[in-house]
Amino acid sequence: MVHQQQLRFSTSGRGTFNIGPQVDEVISQSGIQQGMCQVFIHHTSASLILCENADPDVRTDLETFMKRLVPDGDSMFIHQDEGPDDMPAHVRTVLTQNALSFPINNGRDTLGVWQGIYLWEHRTNPHKRKITVTVMGE
């Protein structure tokens, strides 16, 4: 059995957004009891992560880390068409995930208690982002 559904999100600019509730809703609607779930983002300047979900400082620190690792407006970047955050957004996406994949058991996600599903917007301006959730199993 395959169940597939698109989700749309409007981000308010750079930052992490908890999309776990919407993903869990798709899993629930699929009726699939055991198998796997794939969450895919159709973009090259926003990505997905599983991240600690209890203390928001963790995601603040992740942002701080990435800003240091891939500085906006770095003069080594040629590609700056859409501004100083353009190329860093592509690099951040390549260093994180386009797709998350995790097991389904008992009709539910099996994420650890501290694992949250986040959309990471890497552009400084708000964007509309498309995600597809695919659940496969029996």
Show the binding pattern over residues 88-107: x = contacts its own copies (CB under 8 A), - = does not.
--xx-xxxx-xxxxxx-x--
DSSP state letters, 77-127: -S--TT-TTHHHHHHHHHHSBSEEEEEEETTEE---TTEEEEEEE-SSS--
List the helix and strand counts (H, then E) for the chain.
3, 8
Q: Is 7 in the site for its own copies (CB under 8 A)?
A: no
Tell me which residue has tokens 């708000």.
Answer: 126
Strand partners, 40: 99, 132
Q: Cβ of residue 95: shortest distance to its own copies, in angstroms? A: 6
Among 10, 25, 107, 130, binds its own copies (CB under 8 A): 130
Among 7, 9, 22, 51, binds its own copies (CB under 8 A): 51
Spatial distance between the Cα atoms of 114 and 18, rounded to a whole number of angstroms: 13
Q: Cβ of residue 21: shortest distance to its own copies, in angstroms? A: 18
Residue 1 has what DSSP assignment? Answer: -
Positions in the binding site for its own copies (CB under 8 A):
1-2, 4, 34-36, 38, 40, 42-45, 49-52, 55, 57-58, 60-62, 64-65, 68-70, 76-79, 81, 87, 90-91, 93-96, 98-103, 105, 110-112, 114-115, 130, 132, 134, 136-138
